[in-house]
Structure 1
């Protein structure tokens, strides 16, 4: 199984890194902001740098969409996993077009309101995971697995 882990740096990277027991024995690559924390934490990992800032930035959305086409064609992952942020959007939509399974994990600090990225990828996500039972009211098809911390 080949895994694509997509996210921004900071807390989103932390969320994805906490999944190490799942991904450590799998072929994988990361799509992440080229920032010091990502370079440090992922120094021995295969990484593709995505464009930021992503929040409501159309120019970088277009660049990240083109990056997603290039990376997904080259790598051909079986699953894309993300906890946000906006860079996940083009990867999830294009991933679905390429037949890739998608898993989105809504961040821990969202207890009763969705993130913008969560709302955008929810329609195309195969497994949508929340960390609070209350979030199932926001995302009815979600699975509550509890905290990943």
Structure 2
């Protein structure tokens, strides 16, 4: 089983790192938007991609092209992300490559699901919130990754 684990900088990355025990027994390929984060997962493959968002469409397009190349090289079976926009792009690309896709919404989104999560829940195989009151038929609550 090969897992592509992707997150943007900041809390998204920290929360993704908290999920590492769930990847035990799998080959993991990490992706983030900051090259120096590779040092935090030095025993695993790591790729840095461009950062982008709805305000930075050029960066987002560059990230999509980089992710496409990573998917062609690595052929992951599972894609898991804690966000944000580059993770959402990985969910879409993962679906094209027939990978199982998992979105874990950030714990920072305590009042409503993030915009990216609202989109991800339409396409991802599994979607999780870290707040019980935000769960519904498509978005599950199974606890949180930051305590």
Whether TM exceeds 0.5 here: the answer is yes
2:90 maps to 91
Post-superposition, which runs of at least 4 consecutive aligned residues in structure 1 deviate over 6 A?
A: none
* Residues 98-130 of structure 1, C-alpha deviations (whole Å, 9 max, x = no match): 111000001112122121221222211101011
Distance in 1 between the 2:101 and 2:38 partners? Answer: 25
3-state SS, counterpart of residue 123 of structure 1: coil
Deviation at 1:43, TM superposition (A): 2.8
Deviation at 1:39, TM superposition (A): 3.5
Q: Which runs of 5+ in 1 are unaligned?
A: none
Distance in 2 between the 1:53 and 1:109 partners? Answer: 20
Distance in 2 between the 1:24 and 1:13 partners? Answer: 18
Contact 1:9-1:35 within 8 A present in 2 as well: no
TM-score between the two structures when normalised by the length of structure 2: 0.91
Distance in 1 between the 2:28 and 2:47 partners? Answer: 11
Q: When the two structures are aligned, how many residues end up with a matched partner?
A: 146
Distance in 2 between the 1:34 and 1:110 partners? Answer: 22
RMSD across aligned positions (CA): 1.6
Distance in 2 between the 1:59 and 1:109 partners? Answer: 26
Contact 1:2-1:28 within 8 A present in 2 as well: yes
- Of 105-114 and 38-47, deviating more is 38-47
The answer as to 2:29 corresponding to 1:4 is no
Distance in 1 between the 2:121 and 2:55 partners? Answer: 18
